[in-house]
Chains A and B, each alone.
Chain A
Amino acid sequence: MIKEKKEALKGGEFLIRETDPNDIFTPEEFDEEQQMIAETCETFLQQEVLTRLDEIDSMQKGLMPSLIEKVGELGVLGVSIPEEYGGFNKNFVTSMLTAERLGAGYSFSVAVSAHAGIGTLPILYYGTEEQKSKYIPKLASGEYKGAYCLTEPGSGSDANSGKTKATLNADGSKYILNGQKMWITNGGFADVFTVFAKIDEDENLSAFIVDASSEGITLNPEEKKMGIKGSSTCQIFFNNVEVPVENLLGQRNEGFKIALNILNIGRIKLAGAVIGGAKGTLTEAIRYANERNQFGRPISKYGAIRQKIAKMSYKTFACESAVYRASQNIEDRIASFEVEGMSKSEAVLKGIEAYAIECAMLKVHGSEVLDYVADESVQIFGGMGYSAESSVERAYRDSRINRIFEGTNEINRMLTVDMMLKKAMKGTLDLMGPAQAVAGELMAIPDFGSAPESEFEKLHGYIKNFKKAILMIAGSAVQKLMMELAKEQEILMAVADMLIETYVAESVLLRVEKRTSLEGETEDNKLKLEMARAYIFDAGSTINQLGNEALISFAEGDELRMMTMGLKRFTKMDALNIKLVRRNIAQRMIDENKYVF
C-alpha cells in the first residue's frame, strides 16, 4: 500500500491506501467562529425547540414554519449559500457542523434539514440565474419553505420509475403536471416544491420548480407516523398543474441525476445530523443513570449500564470522526474543482459525487449508531424509557426513520459496493492489483514482520488487515460469481458492512493519532485512544463474523479453507480486556454527567 501525504484520498480509495493522520480534519479543529455558529444552533434548540417538543409533535398550527423562520432570521439556513443569494458562503464542513448541532431537535431537525437540504439545494445547484435570484434568498431566510417531491406510491427506492407526467401545452409556454407524490417532508406548509416528473414519454425524470400555491395541487391530510410526529409529511396530488417552462430545473431528462446528486448531499448531512441526535440522547441516558438509584446506588455504578454508556460513546465518537474526515475530503475536492475553473455549484456537486461511496456508508453507519444509542438509552431508562413522558421514548421513535429515508440502508449498502466495483471496472480505483496481492499473500508463508513500535502502529496494522480481508472476500466473490454477484445481495450487504466498519475504525484511529501527535498524551487523548481501541476491537469481530458468513456462501473445499484461515489471520488482534476499556470510557462520561466529546 502506498503512503503519500500530498495527494488527497479519492472516494473509496481508503480501501487500498493509507491516510496520513495530518491530512484529516478532526472536530477538535473547529475555529472560534465555527464554534460560535455551533453554539447559536445549540442555544436556538434549547430555547425554542426542546422546550416545546410536545407542541411541535402535536403539530400545533403554524409552529413549525415559525421555527424555520426564526432559525432563518439567525442566518443559519443560509450558512453555505453564496452571499449574492443572501447567505454566508461558509464551507462544507461548517454546514455539516450546523447540521450536526441542529440534529438534536427531533422533528424540528427533520423539517429544517429537509428545507435547507433537499428543499433548497436543487434550485441552488441546478437553477438558472433567474430561478436562483427568485427563490434562494427567500429560502435562505426562511420566508419560503422548501420541499422535495420524488417518491410516489409505486416508486420508492426505484425512483426513476415514477409515473408523474409533464406535458408541454399547445403554445409551448407551460408544462402540465399530473401525478401523485408521497411521504413529502414539509409538504403541509412548503411554499416551493422541487417536483420530479417525466416529460411526455421520456425514460428519465426531469425536475421542476413548482409554487405550492399553483392551482390543481391538493394535499392529503398529514400522515400518522411512528415518530417525527411534528414533521409535516403529506401526500400531494398534481392535477393539471400549470408550470411555466422557465421553471424546468436543469436540463430535460436530467432529473434523475439531480435527484441522486442531491441525495448524496442529503446522506452525509443526515450522518451529521444523527451525531447531534446521538450526543443529545446519550447525555440524557448518562444523566438518568446517575440519578436513578436501585439497590441503594445509582445505576451508573453497575457494569451492565456502564457497558452500554461506553459502547454508545465510542460508536458516536467514531462515527463523528468518520463524518468530519469525509466532509473535509469533500471540502478539499470542492476547492480543487473551483481552482480548476468550475462554478461553485458544479464544484460542490462534483466534490460530493466524488465521495458518494463515503456518503452512502456514513448514512448507513450514522443512522444505525443513532438507533443503537436511542435503543440502549430506552433500556437505561427502564420502565420510564417506555413512558411517553421520557425524552428517550421520543428519541427512539424519531430515530427509526433515518434508516429508511434518503435511500434505505439496504439500498445504500448495495450502492456502496456497487460504486466501488464500478470504479474498479472503470479503472479509476485499482482494486485488482491489491486484491491479487492479498491472494498471493494467502499462498505464501505468513510474514509476521517486526513487532510494531507503537500502539498506533499496531492498531494501523489491524486496519490494514481488515482491508486485506475485504479485498480477499470481495475479490474472490467477484471472480467466482461474476455477473451473478449483483443478485447475491446478502454478500453485498456483508461486504458493505465490512467496508463501513473499516472506514470508521480507521477514521477514529487517525483522529486520535492526530490529536495525540499535536497535543501529547493528555487525559482526553488517552481516553480517545481507549475509544479507538474499543471500536477497532468490535469492528474486528464484526468483520470476522460477516466475512465467514460471506465466504461459506460462495466458496468451498480447499479454497474455502484457505480463505477462512486468511480471514482468521486478517482479523487477529492481541487480547484486549474490553470490559476494562469500556469501564474506563464510561467512568469519564459518568463523572462529567454527559457525553464529553
Chain B
Amino acid sequence: MKILVAISKVPDSTSKISFKDNNTQFDEAGIQFIVNPYDEWYALVRALELKENLGGAVTTITVGEANADPVIRKALAIGADDAVRIDAEPVDALFTANQIASFARDKGYDLIMFGKETINYNGSQVGAMAAGLLDLPYVSNASSLEVSGSSARLERDIQGGSQVIDVDLPAVISASKGMAEQRIPNMKGIMSARKKKLEVVAPIEAPRHTEVLSYSLPEAKSEVKLIDPDNPTELIELLHKEAKVI
C-alpha cells in the first residue's frame, strides 16, 4: 500500500480567535497550531494501521509555508514515513487541490486520504476537488475503511443510518470520526521525526477563484447596559424594574 495523507495546520480549538488587516486576515500571533484532528486522528492513524497490516509506506502532504513544519513533524512523530510540503499559502480550495493533485498524479498512490474537513474553515472541498482533478473515485465522510486486494470497503454515516460502499483503488477518501483512534506520539517517534525526510516542493501555477472579503466573530452576548451619565432616572428605573435591586 502506498498512501498519501493530506495534513493541514489548524489553530488549537481553545485559541482566542482574532482578525487583522481590516478583518480580512486571521491573526496568527500567539496561536498554538495543531494537526487538523480529522487528518491526524482518523486519516493518518488509519493509514498507518493499513501500512502495518499490509506493508507499504505513508507519506503526508501539506500545502503551506515553513511555519507548517512543526505540525508536519508531529505527523512524522506519529509514524508517517516521510512528508512533502508544497511551499505555498493554502488560500483557495481549488488552488490547494491542484497542488496536491499535481504532486500525486504520477506517484502511484493506492489511497489518498483527507480528513472530512479542517476545523478552521470547514470547507470540505479539497479532497473532492483533488479526486476530480486526478479523475479518481471519491468517497467522503467514511467512518471505517478496510482494504482487500484492489478495492476498499468503506462505511459512511448517513442521516439515520449508515451506508457501505466498495470502491476500486486507487481512490480518494475523506475520514470522519470512528475510522481510527488517536495515537499519542511516543519518544521513539518524536526523536525520529527530525531525521525523516520532509521534502519542500515548489508550487505549480494554479488559479485562485475565491477571495475572502472579511471575517467576523459571533456577536458577543449582551451583558452590560450603558446608560448616559446625564440620565439617572433611567438608571434608577432599570435598577428598580429590571435588576430589581432597589
Contacts and interface: CB of A to CB of B under 8 A. Distances in A.
Interface in A396-440: none
B186 A40 contact: yes
Contact of A88 (B73, B185, B187, B194): B187
B16 A75 contact: no
Contact of A36 (B16, B182, B190): B190
A594 interface: yes
Contacts, number: 49
A40 B185 CA distance: 6
A524 B223 CA distance: 27
A40 B16 contact: no
Contacts of B190: 33, 36-37, 40
Contact of B16 (A33, A47, A297, A592): A592
Contact of A33 (B182, B184, B186, B191): B191
A36 B69 CA distance: 13
Contacts of A523: 30
B243 interface: yes
A356 interface: no
Given A88-B191, A297-B223, A36 B14 contact: no
B198 interface: no
22 contacts: A32-B73, A33-B191, A33-B193, A33-B194, A36-B185, A37-B187, A37-B190, A40-B184, A40-B190, A44-B184, A47-B182, A73-B186, A74-B184, A75-B187, A79-B187, A88-B188, A88-B191, A296-B243, A524-B30, A591-B16, A593-B14, A594-B14
Range for the number of chain A residues in contact with chain B = 20 to 34
Contact of B193 (A36, A43, A78, A524): A36
A79 B190 CA distance: 12
Interface in B188-216: 188, 190-191, 193-194
Given A33-B194, A36-B74, A296-B243, A78 B187 contact: yes
Interface string B64-75: 000000100110
Interface residues on B, range: 10 to 19
A74 B70 CA distance: 20
B77 interface: yes
A39 B185 CA distance: 9
Contacts of A524: 30
Nearest to A588: B16
A297 to B, nearest CB: 6
A242 B14 CA distance: 56
B74 A74 contact: no
Interface string B173-186: 00000000010111
A591 B16 CA distance: 8
Contacts of B187: 37, 40, 74-76, 78-79, 88
Interface in A47-88: 47, 73-76, 78-79, 88
B243 A43 contact: no
Interface string B5-37: 000000000101000000000000010000000
Q: Which of A43, A75, A79 has the most CB of B within 10 A?
A: A75
A68 to B, nearest CB: 15
